[in-house]
Each structure stands twice: as C-alpha cells, then as structure tokens.
Structure 1
Amino acid sequence: MVTAEFVLDLDEGMLEYFREMVDVLVDRCGISRPEAVARINRQYANLEIAPYPDLMCHEAPEFWALPAYYGRGDPLLPPTGDPDADAHIDFSRLPIHPAPAKDSPYWTLGEGPRSVPQPVDLTQSLEQLEGERWPTPPPDMTSLVKAVHELRRRPVGDLRPDEMARLITQDVGLPWLLPLAVRHLKDTASGQATGGWYDDDLLYAVVTRGPQVWENSPELAHELRTAVDMLGDLSRHLRDEVECFRASLPGETRRWQG
C-alpha cells in the first residue's frame, strides 16, 4: 500500500520498518519528522520493496537511515549505526546532504505551522508543547544534535535569538518558535535604522523557511514582511534571502529595496 508518508509501496511490516528509519533521523540527527520522511523518500524512492521482511531487514534501520543524512567520510564508508563499526567515524566531520528541495514530491508531510497555537505558554519547553520527549542522543552525536536536544527542554521564553535561530534552521518547533521570532524581529527592526544591533542569524533562519510555511501562515508572513520593510543595512547575502522570501509571497511583485 502507498501511504501519505512514503512514496513507496509498503506493506504494514515494511511501513513500520520505514517509520523506524525516520525515528533514527529525528532522534540522532535532530531534524524534524517531515524532513526525515522527505530524506528517506528521496533515498529510496526508486526501490521496489518486497513484503516484510524485505532484504533491507537484514540490517538495523540505522544502516539505511543514516546515509540519507550523512555523506561519506574518510575512509569512504557510510555510517552504519553500529557503535563498533562506526567507532572510527567522527560524526561532527561528516558531510551532510542538503535536504530535498521544498517543491519536490518527497515532502509528503509538509512542514511549518498550519495553525499557530495561541497563546504560547512561554514557561513551557518545546518538549512540553509538542508532547514529545526525544531520547538522549548518543555520546558520539554532533554538537549540533546535542544542542537541539538540550534547547527543546528549555522554556521557549528563555531562548535567546541565536538559540531560536538554531532550532528554526533545523525546522524544530516551528509552530511555536516562528511567531516568537517574527515578533522579536518586528520589535527590533525599527532600532536597526538608528544603529541598533540586529539579529542577522535569526532573520536568516526565519526568511529561509520554505514557501509552504508562509502559505499556511499568511498573517505571520505579513508581519515578517512588515519587519523586513523597515530594514536597510543588510549584507548582500542576507538581502538576497529577504528578496526570495518576498518573492515567494502570493501577489508579491515589488522587489525588496535595500
């Protein structure tokens, strides 16, 4: 059967196995479930999967999941998920494959806030707001993965702009963090013109979310556009990303002027 998650024809046993592969990417790599599904879809879209137990089941789900995220290091062997076999691998130095293009068919779950919870309880953590507790990452995980896990346990009201940026860049907690981030950007944008310090990292993290995020949250997109309209002194790279954000909005024809 073809499910809403995967672009492959999977029976119930293999569906559960593929979901375990997704769990590996979410838990070990600190990415969102929609991105994890998209990576697995891209990696194995062209395979014909036999009924459970397919030959893939001769290996643990980690063996198939991790190459959808990590590239090959030196020596040129992909990570397997086996602690002994991977003992020689410094995961922090492995290349990371880019996520699939947001307009590709691999993004079956979508991402971003379809409805923003209001109000956000600033005393609660993402772990509490999402109702999902991630297991502690293994000791050999990258510092980024460990940081994402730790930040999910912090009250969202205590997160600094750079910490929100780190989570948003990984598409973690978008329904709760994007409204907070946009509000912060809007509140501080007016001071930028008079020489105030502006959170470039947070702005970059927010404007580089996929078009679907803003299609699902048009009011939030309008607030962000209002904020960027007040900005002038941005780097060329960041200005280009702002222009891309503006161009992605429905009915937007005027290019951002810096």
Structure 2
Amino acid sequence: MGRVDHLLHLDRTLDELDPPQWTPPAADATRLVRTVHELRRVPLGALGAADLRTLVAQRVALPYVLPLAVRLLIEEPLLDAYFYEGDLLLATVNAPPAAWTLLPELAARLRAVITRLPEAEVAALPRGAAEELARFAAGTDTPG
C-alpha cells in the first residue's frame, strides 16, 4: 500500500497516537460523543468498519483513521459499515482536503478505486453520492 507508517501502530490507541489524551465526556454527552471518546481508547487494529466510519465522519485523528478506512475500501469499496452500502466510502471522500494533503498516495489509490466502480452501483448510492465521488476522483481538492 505504499508508505503507510500509521499502520505500524495497530496495537496503539488514538489517545496514545494523537495527543492530548481526551478527558472523559461530560455526564450529559450525547451517545455519539460518548462513542467517539470510547473509540479513542480502542487499539487501531481492533477498530471495525463502523468505528472507522464514525471517526472519519467526526473528523477525529484523520492521519491515523483514513489509512485504515482506505485499506478496507481498496478491498471492498462499497462496504456497508453501518448505515448503507458505501457509507464508509462517502464519509472518507468527504474528509477535509487538508487531511488528504498528509496522505497523497492514499488519496491517489482511493481515486483509482472510485474510477473503477461500476456506474450502476454508483447510481444506487444515496442522492448526491455520485457527485461526491466524482469530485474526489477528479482530485480537484485532494493532492496527487
């Protein structure tokens, strides 16, 4: 997969790799906030597709989370992480362009995966998804 140094830390947590360690969530925190806090204490290698979708969508520790998401998406681009087919892919392509600046090789690999998706499968994704994928694949706001 090229130079993906972050994958060498699969036994470490985001709290270890992405300081500072987060304090516990407030007592009245939403379920989403509590979940994200909990996921920061899970070793990277134990994060599942739904966990990665949550972290990417919430833009948490993207230099560590995006490589893991792309690794899954190379194998199964339209993976149903939690909500619907392609949800991890859409969360990933909507990561801020600045996050991809640190990961130009991964951005290029993901663009290649997207360009190979069958048109009918892209058309079956939620409204607006085809445009989001086309924008990312064109590389207009990502490096590479």
Report the TM-score range of the alignment, normalised by the length of the smaller protein.
0.7 to 0.9
Return 5+ residue gaps in structure 1 as ranges.
1-114, 253-258
Superposed displacement of residue 120, structure 1: 2.8
| Structure with larger Rg | 1
Counterparts of 1:198 and 1:226, CA distance in 2: 20
Counterparts of 1:214 and 1:224, CA distance in 2: 11
Superposed displacement of residue 125, structure 1: 0.9
Note the alpha carbon deviations across 1:75-134, whole angstroms, 9 max, x for none. Answer: xxxxxxxxxxxxxxxxxxxxxxxxxxxxxxxxxxxxxxxx96444311111111124211
Superposed displacement of residue 223, structure 1: 0.9
TM norm structure 2: 0.79
The 8 Å contact of residues 104 and 143 in structure 2, kept in 1 or not, is answered as no
Matched, 1:227 2:113: yes
Superposed displacement of residue 198, structure 1: 4.6
Cα gap change, 1:245/1:141 in structure 2, threshold over 3 Å: closer, same or farther?
same
The 8 Å contact of residues 97 and 142 in structure 2, kept in 1 or not, is answered as no
Q: Which has the higher contact order (CA 8 A, sep 6+)?
A: 2
The 8 Å contact of residues 182 and 224 in structure 1, kept in 2 or not, is answered as yes
Identity among equivalent positions (%) equals 37
Counterparts of 1:251 and 1:162, CA distance in 2: 26
Counterpart among 157, 165, 171 of residue 45 in structure 2 = 157
What RMSD over aligned residues (CA atoms) do the two structures have, in Å?
2.4
Describe how 1:116-135 pairs up with structure 2 within 5 A: 117-135=5-23
Q: Please state which structure has a larger fraction of its residues in helix.
A: 2
Return 5+ residue gaps in structure 2 as ranges.
none
Describe how 1:57-72 pairs up with structure 2 within 5 A: none
Structure 1 runs, 4 residues or longer, greater than 6 Å off: none
Counterpart among 14, 23, 28 of residue 140 in structure 1 = 28
